[in-house]
Amino acid sequence: MRLILFPLTSVLLAITGLAAAQTPPPPPVWDAQVGASFVGTSGNSETSSTGADFSLHRRWPVWLFESAASAVRTSDHGVGTAERYLGAMRGQRKLEGIIGLSTGWRVERDKFAGINFRSVLDAGLTWALVHQPAWTLDGLTAAAWNHEKPTVGVGVNEPVGVLQAVSRVPFGTAGDTTQRFTFYPNFKRRSAYRSEAELGAQAAMNSHLALKLGYLYRRSNVPVPGFKKTDNTTMASVVLRWRAAATIQ
């Protein structure tokens, strides 16, 4: 994992330093983007790797709606070696000060990690901890219900929590770097907690095209029997972006 994290972190730090002094504009009323990646080999080896992701944000003065989806699949000589699908949506409403209300739903399928289907429905509070032109830091504390259908064994329905911190460092109008850590404590089986750490960087090539780098580390302390505790995903993709001309003031 260190061999992957070190060069990726170096890239993120270098990109961040390109325009740290520039002040980014206010966020648009809405923005959307679609990313795609592909790697294939033939001859002595026959492998392919495809990835796709989507995100959408819609903003109002006190409301925010966001959704995202991603898919990753790799194969070797036509046999799948990795396959993961993820979808999520969240609605937020600002309250007084730094506090807000939030509810979200996340669904996931990863048979190579032992999960045929996982659903996490949560509701709780958001925390606008730091909101400066050069850096933002937002937190989430929520109670949730976790429903799982593993590839081996019986299904799971358990109360869990969601503790999350998301950091964003913009570099002018060209792009940004993001850092996310999410912890899922399990209130029924305390040892069955999960966590995720994600690093990302995106730099614009023009008004509609951008390059995106991402790294995701996932850990399940009590995985499905026969599967490992940790998974790592590294991705580079070309992104097509759209955004509204109007901004939220």
**183 CB contacts (<8 Å, ≥6 apart)?**
161, 162, 163, 164, 193, 194, 195
User: Do 232 and 216 contact (CB within 8 A), yes or no?
Assistant: yes
CA-angle at 182, arms to 138 and 158, nearest 5° = 125
pLDDT at position 173 is 72
H or E element: which one contains 7?
helix 2-16
Domain 2-243 maps to which CATH number in 2.40.160.40, 3.40.50.720, 3.40.50.970, 3.90.930.12? Answer: 2.40.160.40
pLDDT at position 10 is 54
What would the pLDDT profile of 92-146 be if each residue is shown by its tens digit?
999 999 999 999 999 999 999 999 999 999 999 999 999 998 999 999 999 999 9
Burial class (CB in 10 A: 0-12, 13-18, 19+), 42: exposed
Domain ranges of the chain: 2-243
User: Do 146 and 120 contact (CB within 8 A), yes or no?
Assistant: yes
pTM for the structure as a whole = 0.88
| Residues of the chain under the 70 pLDDT cut | 1-24, 249
